[in-house]
Amino acid sequence: MLFNYGDKCTRLLRQTCSRANMQLKLELIAAACENMGIGNNGALPWRLKTEMEYFTRMTIDTKDKNKKNVVLMGRRTWDSIPIKYRPLNDRINMVLTSQSLDYGDKAIVCKSIPHALEVIAGMQNQIERVWIIGGSSVYKDAMESPHFGRLYLTRIKKEFECDTFFPPIPNDFVLVTDPAVPQDVQEEKGIKFVYEVYEKR
């Protein structure tokens, strides 16, 4: 009897956890230039203040002011953030690495995306959105994940020298609109760029 009860509890707990996991959606945000480059020498290949402000606004804003968003990134993306901007403010920073690193209270270290999702599921009522902020392999894994939600991609209409690239966008991704995203062409320092949003068809 006791065994059956325990068994039922375990099953219920698993179902609850998997329901919690199902609700989690990964939202990717990236900026890529015409050759789909996203980085060079461990930094961004461009300096576009408006684009950076867009990234900051999108990743910080929450409807529920009691909640925060997660920014989940690869270890090299974390390293690429200037120390004075680390951790990214008003967001829960999470870093993927295979190493035994410790960022203290600046960032939560996770060993894989599923591990990060487990950690996030444990704090779900404090979190509104989960933003994947790079780099290459993390974007690829997130686009292939059953938890993929949306891709927010800034297309910079210029070629830059890059050593890091955005992975191919799957054929079943379609453009959608989001009222929080400006639809007109942006321009800064003579460089044009547009904000796109994709979902899986």
Ligand X SMILES: NC(=O)c1ccc[n+]([C@@H]2O[C@H](COP(=O)([O-])OP(=O)(O)OC[C@H]3O[C@@H](n4cnc5c(N)ncnc54)[C@H](OP(=O)(O)O)[C@@H]3O)[C@@H](O)[C@H]2O)c1
- CA neighbours within 13 Å on the CB side: how many for 64? 10
Contact 43, 172 (CB under 8 A): no
Measured distance CA(43)–CA(54) in Å, rounded: 18
| Residue 141 engages ligand X in binding (rule: CB under 6 A) | yes
The minimum distance between CB 51 and ligand X, in angstroms, equals: 9
| Residue 23 engages ligand X in binding (rule: CB under 6 A) | no
Which is closer to ligand X, CB of 82 or CB of 179? Answer: 82
Strand partners, 40: 43
Strand partners, 39: 164
What is the identity of the amino acid at 27?
Answer: E
| Residue 27 engages ligand X in binding (rule: CB under 6 A) | no
95: exposed, middle or buried (C-beta count within 10 Å: 0-12, 13-18, 19+)? Answer: buried
| Residue 130 engages ligand X in binding (rule: CB under 6 A) | no
Which is closer to ligand X, CB of 103 or CB of 170? Answer: 103
- DSSP 8-state symbol, 43: B
Q: Over the Cα atoms of the chain, what is R_g? A: 18
| Residue 117 engages ligand X in binding (rule: CB under 6 A) | no
| Residue 80 engages ligand X in binding (rule: CB under 6 A) | yes
Q: Which stretch binds ligand X (CB under 6 A): 15-23, 69-77, 86-94, 179-187?
A: 69-77
Structure tokens at 62: 């929450």
Interface pattern 34-63 for ligand X (x via CB under 6 A): ----xx--xxx-------------------
Whether residue 44 lies in the annotated active site? yes
Q: List the catalytic residue out of 24, 26, 28, 51.
A: 51
Nearest alpha-carbon partner for 31 in 193, 163, 199: 193
Q: List the catalytic residue out of 24, 44, 72, 151.
A: 44
Which is closer to ligand X, CB of 48 or CB of 127? Answer: 48
* Residue 114 CB contacts under 8 Å (≥ 6 apart), including other chains: none
**Annotated active-site positions, please?**
44, 51
Q: Kindly list the residues in this chain that would bind ligand X in the complex (CB under 6 A).
A: 30-31, 38-39, 42-44, 73-77, 80, 96-99, 111-113, 133-138, 141, 164
